[in-house]
């Protein structure tokens, strides 16, 4: 509980992400150029569809992490971090395309999703293309260690996504299983994005591991806060629709917490709405009220704050520089934006 209270206000934390992004701005501009150049293809639909999702914006958080971690590790002599940041963003974009098909989403970051505009078929295939392109970029980089990290992350992401599919609508999912889903679908790529920053700088194994841990914990904090945000009815942030997870019967910590703490009647409510997916218009409001009464959002954000604290601690390996402090502040941002 302490971790949550000691976080700075959301505005300060958001400033940290802005400041971090500003610090790597030149590299990020170069990374965006690589992204545009390498999503090109003689098959015009590929860059069209890819541009739709890449141009839709997003914070480019993962490539920023790769660029910042490379800089934290003193990498100066080349553009490997720029190319690998693009590669990380390609893997992320490929998974977004496939996620939206799997979730039948019509919106992504407040705009029509690629599958809504171009259809499921094109989204699946262009996702495959971007995934393959990511590997081509890695092969050009030429480091087997980088390839090992990112191909491992790709397999773990897919495992996490399948596990999420399996646990959907299942209220007997344990918090440990839920965290396995989160580690897979989100945190594994955060971890890999940070880790390769240390690898290009040829840093010792302890620093490589420290940045992997930082990314993993940051990713978990980020996803937990995101899952809380999905029920944060008073905030119109992130271009997300409140209640998406609820309508899909997605098992997230807010639901598991409210279910575990609920009485028999409440459990019946969750079984009907999440397990049987029988929902009326009034059910989302009832879900939000039960979560508030049972402190489910607060519990979720406390868990997020715990992982954010672990992320900050992972950076103890590095000298106390302004860049390190910014990376630590970004861990706060992951959680504060959801309060």
Under the rule (CB under 8 A), what is the footprint of its own copies? 41-46, 95, 98, 101-102, 120-122, 124-126, 128-129, 131-133, 135-136, 138-139, 142, 144, 147-148, 151-152, 154-155, 157-159, 161-163, 165-166
We find the least distance from the C-beta atom of residue 157 to its own copies, in angstroms, to be 7
Nearer to its own copies, 146 or 338 (CB): 146
Nearer to its own copies, 44 or 282 (CB): 44
- Residue 79, class by beta-carbon neighbours within 10 Å (0-12 exposed, 13-18 middle, 19+ buried)? middle
We find the least distance from the C-beta atom of residue 224 to its own copies, in angstroms, to be 21
We find the least distance from the C-beta atom of residue 129 to its own copies, in angstroms, to be 4
3-class SS of residue 111: strand
User: How far is Cα 261 from Cα 72, in angstroms, rounded to an integer?
Assistant: 43
We find the least distance from the C-beta atom of residue 74 to its own copies, in angstroms, to be 26
User: How far is Cα 306 from Cα 97, in angstroms, rounded to an integer?
Assistant: 30
Strand partners, 112: 107
We find the least distance from the C-beta atom of residue 249 to its own copies, in angstroms, to be 13
Q: Which residue, 35, 53, 160, is CA-closest to 105?
A: 53
3-class SS of residue 185: helix
DSSP structural state of residue 317: G
We find the least distance from the C-beta atom of residue 37 to its own copies, in angstroms, to be 14
User: How far is Cα 339 from Cα 337, in angstroms, rounded to an integer?
Assistant: 6
Please name the residue ranges forming H helices in the chain: 2-5, 10-23, 25-38, 45-55, 61-72, 80-103, 114-118, 120-141, 144-167, 175-182, 188-200, 205-229, 244-248, 253-261, 264-270, 283-293, 296-314, 322-336
Nearer to its own copies, 131 or 266 (CB): 131
Nearer to its own copies, 17 or 188 (CB): 188
We find the least distance from the C-beta atom of residue 264 to its own copies, in angstroms, to be 31
Nearer to its own copies, 98 or 324 (CB): 98
User: How far is Cα 268 from Cα 255, in angstroms, rounded to an integer?
Assistant: 13
We find the least distance from the C-beta atom of residue 105 to its own copies, in angstroms, to be 12
**In sequence order, which residues have a C-beta less than 8 Å from that of residue 57 and are 6 or more positions away?**
109
Nearer to its own copies, 144 or 236 (CB): 144
Q: Which residue, 150, 187, 158, 173, is CA-closest to 308?
A: 187
Nearer to its own copies, 94 or 329 (CB): 94
Lookup: tokens for 284 = 């989302």
Nearer to its own copies, 7 or 191 (CB): 191
Element (H, E) at 73: none
Nearer to its own copies, 114 or 309 (CB): 114
We find the least distance from the C-beta atom of residue 62 to its own copies, in angstroms, to be 17
Query: What angle, 0 to 180 degrees and rounded to 10, lies between the N-to-C axes of helices 80-103 and 45-55?
Result: 90
**In sequence order, which residues have a C-beta less than 8 Å from that of residue 255 and are 6 or more positions away?**
171, 245, 246, 270, 274, 287, 296
């Amino acid at each position: 509980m302490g971790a949550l209270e000691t976080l700075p206000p959301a505005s300060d934390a958001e400033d940290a992400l802005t400041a971090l992004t500003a610090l790597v701005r030149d590299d990020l501009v170069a990374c965006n150029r690589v992204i545009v150049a390498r999503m090109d293809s003689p098959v015009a639909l590929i860059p069209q569809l890819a541009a739709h999702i890449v141009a839709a914006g997003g914070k480019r958080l993962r490539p920023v992490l790769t660029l910042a971690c490379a800089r934290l590790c003193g990498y100066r002599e080349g553009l490997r971090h720029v190319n690998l940041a693009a590669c990380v963003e390609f893997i992320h974009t490929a998974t977004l395309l496939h996620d939206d098909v799997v979730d039948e989403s019509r919106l992504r970051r407040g705009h029509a999703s690629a599958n809504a505009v171009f259809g499921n078929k094109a989204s699946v295939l262009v996702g495959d293309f971007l995934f393959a392109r990511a590997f081509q970029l890695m092969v050009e980089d030429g480091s087997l260690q980088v390839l090992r990290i990112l191909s491992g992350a790709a397999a773990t992401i897919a495992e996490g996504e399948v596990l999420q599919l399996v646990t959907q609508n299942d209220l007997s999912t344990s918090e440990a299983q839920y965290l396995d889903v989160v580690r897979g679908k989100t945190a594994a790529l955060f971890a890999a994005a940070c880790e390769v920053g240390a690898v290009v700088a040829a840093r010792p194994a302890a620093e490589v591991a420290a940045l992997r841990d930082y990314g993993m914990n940051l990713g978990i904090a980020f996803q937990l806060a995101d899952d809380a945000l999905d029920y944060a009815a008073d905030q119109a942030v992130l271009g997300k629709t409140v209640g998406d997870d609820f309508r899909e019967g997605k098992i997230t910590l807010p639901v598991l917490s409210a279910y575990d703490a609920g009485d028999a009647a409440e459990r019946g409510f969750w079984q009907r709405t999440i397990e049987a997916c029988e929902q009326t218009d009034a059910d989302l409001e009832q879900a939000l009220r039960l979560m508030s009464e049972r402190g489910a959002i607060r519990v979720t954000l406390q868990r997020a704050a715990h992982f954010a604290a672990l992320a900050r601690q992972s950076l103890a390996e590095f000298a106390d520089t302004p860049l390190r402090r910014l990376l630590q502040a970004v861990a706060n941002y992951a959680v504060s934006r959801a309060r």
